[in-house]
């Protein structure tokens, strides 16, 4: 599907392997919801963990896109 820009939002995990696989399969971008905003993060209000995960994911994506 070379003319389509695909945004994957289901089954995306905050791991280098998973994100690399999605981009390798042709995704233009990915969206993470429940994998970032977990029950554990909310229950513990662990915003540092959330920030760390987001920074990691962004780093992976930036490296892939270069």
pLDDT in tens, 38-58: 999 999 999 999 999 999 999
Q: What is the pLDDT of residue 8?
A: 95
Q: What's phi and psi for 19, nearest 5 deg?
A: -65, -40
Checking if the pLDDT of 18 tops 70, the result is yes
Checking if the pLDDT of 3 tops 90, the result is no
- Give the tokens for residue 28: 């233009």
Quote the mean pLDDT of the chain. Answer: 94
9 alpha-carbon distance from chain centroid:
9
DSSP state of 28: E
Model confidence at 15, pLDDT cuts 50, 70, 90, reads very high
Q: What is the pLDDT of residue 1?
A: 62
Q: How far is CA 45 from CA 23, 29, 57, in A?
A: 31, 28, 20
Question: Within 13 Å, how many C-alpha atoms sit on residue 24's CB side?
Answer: 7
Give the residue carrying structure tokens 């780093």: 59
């Amino acid at each position: 599907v070379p003319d389509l820009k695909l945004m994957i939002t289901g089954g995306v995990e905050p791991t280098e392997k998973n994100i690399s696989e999605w981009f390798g399969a042709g995704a233009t971008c990915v969206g993470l919801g429940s994998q970032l905003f977990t029950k554990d993060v909310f229950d513990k209000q662990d915003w540092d963990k959330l920030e760390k995960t987001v920074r990691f994911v962004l780093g992976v994506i930036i490296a892939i896109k270069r």
